Structures are given as C-alpha cells and as structure tokens.
C-alpha cells in the first residue's frame, strides 16, 4: 500500500489511519485484537488513539484504548512497522491542558500503557489558551530530545491559533506541529475549508481528519429516525445529519458508489483522500467485516466528475 509523507516529517503513513477510539468501548479487548490484526495485515499500519479514550464510557477513566493497543503490541510484536499516534490535553480524571508538567506526566503514562519507548506522533488534542504556546512547545522539545516522541501535531485548533503556534516555534527554535487533526468530512466542510485548509497548505502540514464518516452517517446506515437505534454508540451523533443536506449527500454517494461498484463509505473516504490538502483520513470499525470498506477505499479512484458531484451535493 502506498505511503504518504506526514507533513514536513520523516513519518510516512498509509492513505488511511485506523481510529482507536473504539478499543475498549464499542469493541472489547478480544474484538480489538482481531481488528488490529486485520488492519495491519491489510497494510493500514497507522493507529490513532488518545489518552482520554474512552473516559466517556461508564466505569472508564481514560487510557483504555492505549492499554489495549499496548497489550496487543506486547502479544504480536512488530512495533517497528507501525506508526502510533496519541494525544494529550483533553479532560482526564486528574488533569487536562497543555502545561509542561501535565504533558510530561501524560506522556509517561501513555508510553507505559502503549508498552512502547516512543510515540511517533504526539498531538495536542485541543488548544489550551491558559498555557503559553512557548511552554507547550518547549515541553515537546524536551520529549523529542529524550527520544520519547518523534514528531508533534495539533488537533481542534483554530486557524489563528495554529498560525500563532507555528510562528512561536519558528521564533524560538522550538519543534513545530507537522500535522493537524480537524473535524472534516462531506457533511462537515466549512470548519476546515474556510480557514484551516489554507494554513495547512501554506505551512505544509499533514492533515489527518477525524470523523471522516460522520459517526457512520456517510456509510448510508442511517437514513431515517428509525435507523438511529441500530447503534447505541453512534445513533445520537448522526441524528443531526438526517435533515438539511444530509439526504442529498447520501444520494450523491449512492450514485458514485453505483458507478464505481463500491459503497457509500468507500466513496466518502475516497473523496477525502483525493483532496490535495488531505494526507490520510481517520476511520474506525467495531467489527472485522467493516474493515473491507476501509481497505477498498484506499484504492478507489474517483473521476473529476464524481468528485464534482460530491462537492456540489455537500457544498
């Protein structure tokens, strides 16, 4: 499977990143092991997670996803062929934010859970305006120097704050973010396209959007209120797409899928992969049979007319 360079970094990743938010939540440990085996065997060797996955689930405290990945790595080996991405900054039971102290505490916890010596891409999960950018980037500099982190990325930043972080890095000789992880898909375009996309292109940042399938809506699984009960974990998150342009986007995906003998999910992911600013979308699965869509999307090439049709439906 082809590899794409992650911004201005030595890290190369496949055209799709597997999202580890499901591990220990909608996929138990045994299922998570099967999912990881399947995606890696298929060449999807980049895994994205976060320290706080899945703190939202009853009885969870965060770190569940990282722990499962670490247990799987200890069982299977092969760390050198994987790109492991995790994040820091969202609310955990005993802390949050991007202070130097919290970052240094959090990275050691993540490394221990992941059972690895180094995190390939360590990402600021969300901006922390209470901590000076110089302090945050200085902490990352120390982690890179110590060999605990290879590169750093940002997630959920506004365009002005992302520009500011890049300027601070340059002015003070600190590590710069090499990537952005934004919320972006066919039914959520403006947040990224209106301002962030230009910053990423100008600064040569890798872009690895999350919720690439809009919590499953773009698979075509949810087309009416009655469909929301198909997944307790996802149903609530897709209800907002049933109105507005949502049905129009699904109709366009259905048409492209019919023309390309693919599925709506494959077409939605292929649309993202075809966009010049995108390095690799993040997508996840909670059942092994769903992985086929992700793998096939990586080799699906859409025509300019098909891309235009999806652009028009989702504009």
Q: What is the mean pLDDT of residues 264-278?
A: 98
- Stronger pLDDT, 254 or 239, i.e. the higher one: 254
Model pLDDT, residue 236: 64
Can you tell me the distance from the alpha carbon of 215 to that of 284, in angstroms, rounded to the nearest whole number? 9
Task: Look at 14-18, 233-237, 257-261 and tell me which has the smallest mean pLDDT.
Answer: 233-237
pTM for this structure? 0.96
Confidence of residue 229 (pLDDT cuts 50, 70, 90): confident
How many CB atoms lie under 10 A from the CB of residue 201?
12
Let me know: does 130 contact 97? Beta carbons within 8 Å.
yes
157 pLDDT more than 70? yes
Q: How confident is the model at residue 160 (pLDDT cuts 50, 70, 90)?
A: very high
| All structural domains of the chain | 4-220+266-300 (3.20.20.100)
pLDDT of 235 higher than 90: no
DSSP three-state, residue 290 = helix
Q: Which residues pair with 122 in a beta bridge?
A: 86, 152
Q: Which has the higher per-residue pLDDT, 254 or 226?
A: 254
Give the mean model confidence (pLDDT) for residues 237-258. 94
Spatial distance between the Cα atoms of 227 and 136, rounded to a whole number of angstroms: 43
* Under 8 Å between Cβ of 16 and 25: no
Active-site choice (53, 122, 157, 241): 53
Active-site annotation holds for 53: yes
For the chain, what's the residue count?
315
Task: Give the pLDDT band of residue 284 (cuts 50, 70, 90).
Answer: very high
> Token pair for residue 123?
């990402």
Question: Under 8 Å CB-to-CB from 34, ≥6 apart: which residues?
Answer: 288
> For residue range 110-142, what is the model confidence (pLDDT) as tens digits?
999 999 999 999 999 999 999 999 999 999 999
Residue 221: pLDDT over 70: yes
* Maximal CA-CA distance, the chain: 55
pLDDT band at residue 237 under the 50/70/90 scheme: confident
Is pLDDT above 90 for 228? no
């Amino acid at each position: 499977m082809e590899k794409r360079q992650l911004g201005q970094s030595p890290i190369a990743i496949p055209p799709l990143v597997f999202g580890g938010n499901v591990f220990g939540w909608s996929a138990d440990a045994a299922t998570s092991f099967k999912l990881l085996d399947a995606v890696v065997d298929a060449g999807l060797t980049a895994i994205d997670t976060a320290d706080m996955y899945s703190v939202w689930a009853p009885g969870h405290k965060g770190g569940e996803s990282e722990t499962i990945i670490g247990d799987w790595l200890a069982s299977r080996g092969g760390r050198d062929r994987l790109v492991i991405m995790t994040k820091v900054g969202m609310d955990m039971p005993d802390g949050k934010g991007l202070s130097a102290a919290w970052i240094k505490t959090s990275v050691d916890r993540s490394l221990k859970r992941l059972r690895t010596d180094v995190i390939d891409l360590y990402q600021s999960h969300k901006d922390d305006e209470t901590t000076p950018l110089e302090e945050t980037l200085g902490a990352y500099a120390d982690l890179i120097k110590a060999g605990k982190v290879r590169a750093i990325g940002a997630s959920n930043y506004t365009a002005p704050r992302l520009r500011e972080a890049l300027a601070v890095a340059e002015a003070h000789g600190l590590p710069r973010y090499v990537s952005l992880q934004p919320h972006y898909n066919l039914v959520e375009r403006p947040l990224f396209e209106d301002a962030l996309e230009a910053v990423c292109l100008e600064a040569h940042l890798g872009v690895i959007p999350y919720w690439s399938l809009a919590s499953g809506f773009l698979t075509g699984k949810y087309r009416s209120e009655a469909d929301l009960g198909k997944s307790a974990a996802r149903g609530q998150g897709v209800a907002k797409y049933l109105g507005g342009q949502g049905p129009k986007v699904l109709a366009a995906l259905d048409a492209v899928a019919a023309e390309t003998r693919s599925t709506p999910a494959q077409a939605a992911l292929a649309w993202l992969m075809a966009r010049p600013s995108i390095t690799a979308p993040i997508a996840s699965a909670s059942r092994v049979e769903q992985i086929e869509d992700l793998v096939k999307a990586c080799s699906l090439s859409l025509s300019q007319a098909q891309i235009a049709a999806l652009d028009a439906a989702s504009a």
